[in-house]
Amino acid sequence: VPDSSVLNIGLIGVGRIGRLHAANLAHQVPRGRLVAIADVIEEAALHSAAEHGVPIAVSEYRTLLDDPEIHAVVICSATDTHAQIIEEAAQAGKHIFCEKPLDLTLARIDTALAAVERAGVVFQIGLNRRFDANFRRVRQAVEHGEIGRPWQLHIVSRDPAPPPISYVKVSGGLFLDMAIHDFDMARFLIDSEVEEVYAAAAVLVDEAIGAVGDVDTAVTILKFANGVIGTIENSRSAAYGYDQRAEILGSAGMVQTENNYPNTAVISGGQTVHRDLPLNFFMERYTQSYLAEVTAFVNTALDGGAPAVSGADGRQAVVLALAALKSFRENRPVRVAEIDKT
């Protein structure tokens, strides 16, 4: 009889986000045990495994899928590998946590999620911001009617600096890679589906991003089924650091969040009042949410129940990103139904 009190986990892809999840799973999740790491760059797998005392380190992820002692996989490999690995992991009967975005095409997403459905395994998508304390409180304010009926949503989501071009090339681009978090946040906060999007975008930060067919600056207007109108502002660069804020206006008031700072010191001088910059990037800003999401996944895999963020949520964020991309390319508002005919 397998020990149902501990989930044995294999991690696939140990780059920027994989290293973070590996550290959490190895030391911070009492009911999860990180037992294996796979990365096509074998040294990366070996290095992380040695760092965290993980017994198995391999270059081939299928080794993990073939191991009956491994109950679940955490997929942190490049975006263009997700759908294939999900499908194979589901067929192998593993519970699956997968980083966002699910994949870049709906056809592949639907094949992967159908395999999950058939296998009856737990699937959670890594839309971690739903676990962030600031955004949870905004959601709660809406849910509890603290601001009355919501009218307007505004999300600001700017990175401190662009990722490497090698990452940009396989990322799916700004809408599918970066704004995907904000499309999910919009659905999460307003608790209504987006029916139409209208996006403007440009290459203002770095011409190299334009040269590989991507954009680095975007504003997207969202129209929700419940009448709310929203805007999302994205930039791949902000001189003052990671800028992650939300604001909702409703009939009885407003809720807004600020950035998170490493300290609360404010220095007042003869010329200016200043403070330190916000927490610099996702590893610092969303630390607590990354731990909370994998803890939720481990609990669901062991105890059952609905995943905190489902495959359908992961899919819908991709649908909105594809709609925004189409809107930008065709320079017109796009009905979400144009993208998703199911």
232 to 291, contacts with ligand NAD by CB under 6 A? Answer: 282
DSSP per-residue letters across 107-149: HHHHHHHHHHHHHT--EEEE-GGGG-HHHHHHHHHHHTTTT-S
Q: Which of 177, 184, 214, 313 binds ligand NAD (CB under 6 A)?
A: 177
Taking CB under 6 A as the rule, does residue 230 contact ligand NAD? no
Q: Which of 99, 159, 182, 184 binds ligand NAD (CB under 6 A)?
A: 99
Taking CB under 6 A as the rule, does residue 79 contact ligand NAD? yes
Rounded Cα distance, 338 and 334, in Å: 7
Residue 172 Rama label (left phi>0; alpha psi -120 to 50; beta)? left
Q: How many residues bind ligand NAD (CB under 6 A)?
A: 25
Q: Which residue has the tokens 């059952």?
A: 304
Q: Which is nearer to ligand NAD, 189 or 318 (CB)?
A: 318
CA 179, chain centre distance (Å): 9
Taking CB under 6 A as the rule, does residue 159 contact ligand NAD? no
Taking CB under 6 A as the rule, does residue 128 contact ligand NAD? yes
Q: Which of 28, 41, 43, 133 binds ligand NAD (CB under 6 A)?
A: 41
Q: Which is nearer to ligand NAD, 88 or 247 (CB)?
A: 88
Taking CB under 6 A as the rule, does residue 126 contact ligand NAD? yes
109-115's contacts with Cβ under 8 Å and 24+ in sequence apart are 109/83, 109/314, 109/315, 109/318, 110/315, 110/342, 111/83, 111/87, 112/82, 112/83, 112/84, 112/86, 112/87, 113/86, 113/311, 113/312, 113/315, 115/86, 115/87, 115/90, 115/91
Taking CB under 6 A as the rule, does residue 13 contact ligand NAD? yes
Q: Which of 29, 37, 54, 76 binds ligand NAD (CB under 6 A)?
A: 76
Taking CB under 6 A as the rule, does residue 39 contact ligand NAD? yes
Q: Which of 11, 61, 244, 285 binds ligand NAD (CB under 6 A)?
A: 61
Segment near ligand NAD (CB under 6 A); pick from 7-15, 110-118, 250-258, 310-318: 7-15
* Phi/psi at 97 (5° precision): -110, 130
Q: Which of 12, 70, 86, 292 binds ligand NAD (CB under 6 A)?
A: 12
Q: Which is nearer to ligand NAD, 29 or 255 (CB)?
A: 29
Rounded Cα distance, 102 and 259, in Å: 27
Q: Which of 7, 9, 14, 22 binds ligand NAD (CB under 6 A)?
A: 14
Taking CB under 6 A as the rule, does residue 77 contact ligand NAD? yes
CA 262, chain centre distance (Å): 23
Rounded to a whole number of angstroms, the CA Rg of the chain reads 20
* Contact predicate 4/302, CB 8 Å: yes
H or E element at residue 12: strand 7-12
Segment near ligand NAD (CB under 6 A); pick from 27-35, 40-48, 66-74, 205-213: 40-48
Question: Which residue is closest to ligand NAD by CB?
Answer: 15
Binding site for ligand NAD (CB under 6 A): 12-18, 38-41, 44, 61, 76-79, 81, 99-100, 126, 128, 167, 177, 282
